[in-house]
Amino acid sequence: MVLDFTYGSDLADTEHEIDQLLTQVAVLRRRLGIAHLPSEIHLEIFSYIVDEWGEDHIQDTKQRSHTSKSYTWLPTITHICHYWRYIALGSPCLWRYVLLDVDASSSLEVVLERSQEAPIFVFCHIDHYDLERHHLDRIQQILLPHLHRIKVLQIATLYEFCPIYDNLFAGPLPLIETIIFTMDEIASDWDIEVSEEAYIENHVMPFRRWMKEDYNGLRTLSFNHDVNVSIGV
pLDDT, tens digit (0-9, with 9 covering 90-100), for 193-208: 555 555 555 555 556 6
16 shares its domain with 111? no
CA dihedral in degrees (166, 210, 97, 133; nearest 10)?
Answer: 10
150 C-beta neighbours (distance < 10 Å), count: 21
186 in Cβ contact with 192 (< 8 Å): yes
- Residues 6 or more apart whose CB falls under 8 angstroms from that of 131 comprise 102
Instruction: Verify that 17 and 96 share a domain, yes or no.
Output: no
92-150, pLDDT tens digit by residue?
A: 999 999 887 655 566 888 899 999 999 999 988 766 554 566 667 777 788 889 989 99
Residue 24 within a domain = yes
pLDDT score recorded for residue 187: 44
Q: Is 80 part of a structural domain of the chain?
A: no
Residues of the domain holding 212: 55-65+92-232
Domain co-membership, 205 together with 131: yes
Query: Residues 197, 112: one domain?
Result: yes
158 with 228, same domain: the answer is yes
Give a yes or no: residue 74 inside a domain.
Answer: no
The secondary structure element, H or E, covering residue 170 is: none
Please check whether residue 42 lies inside any domain of the structure: no
**pLDDT at residue number 209:** 61
The closest of 102, 182, 171, 184 to 136, measured between CA atoms, is 102
The pLDDT value given to residue 176: 92
The 10s digit of each residue's pLDDT in 166-179 is 777 777 889 999 98
Determine, yes or no, domain membership for 228.
yes
> At residue 225, does pLDDT exceed 50?
yes
Pair 138, 167 in one domain: yes
Residues 8, 60 within the same domain: no
For residues 1 and 61, membership in a common domain is answered with: no
Does residue 221 form part of some domain? yes
> Does residue 41 form part of some domain?
no
- Tens digits of per-residue pLDDT, 84-101? 889 999 999 999 998 876
For position 229, what pLDDT does the model report? 44
* Distance between CA atoms of residues 80 and 138, nearest Å: 33
Tell me, yes or no, whether 164 and 213 share the same domain.
yes
**pLDDT top residue among 17 and 113:** 113
What integer pLDDT is reported at residue 1 of this predicted model? 46
Same domain for 61 and 16: no
Task: Give the number of domains in the chain.
Answer: 2
Helix (H) or strand (E) holding 122: strand 120-126
Q: For residues 70 and 186, give the distance between their C-alpha atoms in angstroms, rounded to a whole number.
A: 24
Same domain flag for 61 and 25: no
In a domain, 150, yes or no: yes
pLDDT, tens digit, 9 for 90 and up, residues 21-71: 888 877 766 666 555 678 888 899 899 988 888 887 766 655 555 544 577
